[in-house]
Amino acid sequence: MRKAEEIAKKLGLSHADYFTGTYRGVRFKINRHNNYNYLGSGGPQWDHSTWCYYIYLQQENFTPEDWLKVFETAPKTYDRSNGAKKIVRESGWLDSCDFHGGITWFKAECDPTLPEQVSLEVGCDYAHLWDMESGYRYEVDDILCDVKRTIDKLHETFAVRVWSRIDGTYHPEVEIEAYNAEAHKRLWPNEATKEAVA
DSSP codes joined into one string, 118-150: EEEEEEEES-SHHHHHTTS---HHHHHHHHHHH
Q: Is residue 47 part of a domain?
A: yes
Looking at the fold, whether 58 and 151 belong to one and the same domain comes out as: yes
Amino acid at 104: T
Looking at the fold, whether 197 and 100 belong to one and the same domain comes out as: no
- Domain containing 30 equals 3-63+92-163
Looking at the fold, whether 42 and 105 belong to one and the same domain comes out as: yes
| Cα four-point dihedral sign 184, 22, 97, 67 | negative
Least Cα distance to 147 among 21, 18, 15, 17 occurs for 21
Looking at the fold, whether 159 and 179 belong to one and the same domain comes out as: no
Least Cα distance to 66 among 173, 151, 164, 161 occurs for 161
Q: Is residue 87 part of a domain?
A: no
* H or E, element range at 195: helix 189-197
Question: How far is the C-alpha of 193 from the C-alpha of 176, rounded, in Å?
Answer: 23
Looking at the fold, whether 47 and 10 belong to one and the same domain comes out as: yes
Looking at the fold, whether 149 and 185 belong to one and the same domain comes out as: no
Q: Is residue 145 part of a domain?
A: yes
Cα–Cα distance list, 62 to 31, 36, 129 (Å): 26, 40, 34
Q: Is residue 111 part of a domain?
A: yes
Looking at the fold, whether 12 and 56 belong to one and the same domain comes out as: yes
Task: Give me the tens of pLDDT residue by residue for the chain, a chain 198 residues long.
Answer: 567 767 777 777 766 789 999 999 999 999 987 665 444 455 555 556 789 999 999 889 999 888 888 766 555 555 556 666 555 555 577 877 889 988 888 888 877 676 667 888 999 998 877 777 777 778 899 999 999 999 999 999 888 999 998 998 999 999 999 999 999 898 888 875 444 433
Q: Total structural domains in the chain?
A: 2
Looking at the fold, whether 184 and 128 belong to one and the same domain comes out as: no
Looking at the fold, whether 184 and 131 belong to one and the same domain comes out as: no
Q: Is residue 101 part of a domain?
A: yes
